[in-house]
Structure 1
Amino acid sequence: MSNLARFNPFSELREPFSDDFFKGFTLRPVYRLMEGEPQMRLDLSEDDKNFFVKAEIPGVKKEDIKVSVDGNQVCVSAEVKKEKEQKEGAKFIRSERYYGSVSRSFTLDEGVDQAASSAKYEDGVLQLTLPKKPNGQSRMLKIA
């Protein structure tokens, strides 16, 4: 008549590999097979005259990449389209698609000369050369 069970908080110390410990292990390998959203990785460097940006955007066509520079604000965006099909004979076994966009925006320390900026896309890597504005030097203000 009594279906009460006693709770022992120290039972896990005695039996660390109980049934709850292995719960969910069967689902973890499935997550490794699923591809997540693509991300854009950036490297930013500078010398005395230029800022250099390297952005990894694999699998994107050159026409689908947009770069905008407004003062010292830089925005890189791309339309990503991934399609993967597996066929067996005349019927589909699996078809996966991803359509979306990725973008990164960042602010530089100095203004950028937009007219002299250049961009090159090769082997999934976008390379930007952003010359610093000659009049964009910062100056200290005197406090009155």
Structure 2
Amino acid sequence: MNLKKYTDYALRVLIFTGMKSDQELATIKEISEVYTISQEHVRKVVHELVKMELIESVRGRHGGIRMAKPPEEINVGRLVRQLEADFVILECFDKGTNHCVISPGCTLKHVLNRALVAFFKVLEAYTLKDLIKNEEELRELMGL
């Protein structure tokens, strides 16, 4: 299983923003510098997270972003499902382009499907709050 960089960046933005107090704003520049990700990538991710109503944007000279929901209300599994367009692990998972001759009798797709279900079951057991419970260590690693 390989998640897109976009999903990785979204999780990082939420981790960073989730460690801020309710009144404290994070900035795209600040997130970009901490993670060494281009500001444009962070901006696109932030735009999507705002549309998903997970974070809110405050405009203006002293603007930035903050959590729109408490970290304990953001389920990691649901978030990953929303951000990932599809989970085509092998060709046989894609009905439109499956040309594998053994597909009708192959059990590999069933094994991989079980693995995918287990993957999400684990992710769905965690919230953003679980990802930031070691906040002191994370802050130190980020240089904050």
Per the normalisation by structure 2, the TM-score is 0.25
Q: Which has the higher contact order (CA 8 A, sep 6+)?
A: 2
- Radius of gyration: which is bigger? 1
> Which structure: greater helix fraction?
2
Per the normalisation by structure 1, the TM-score is 0.25
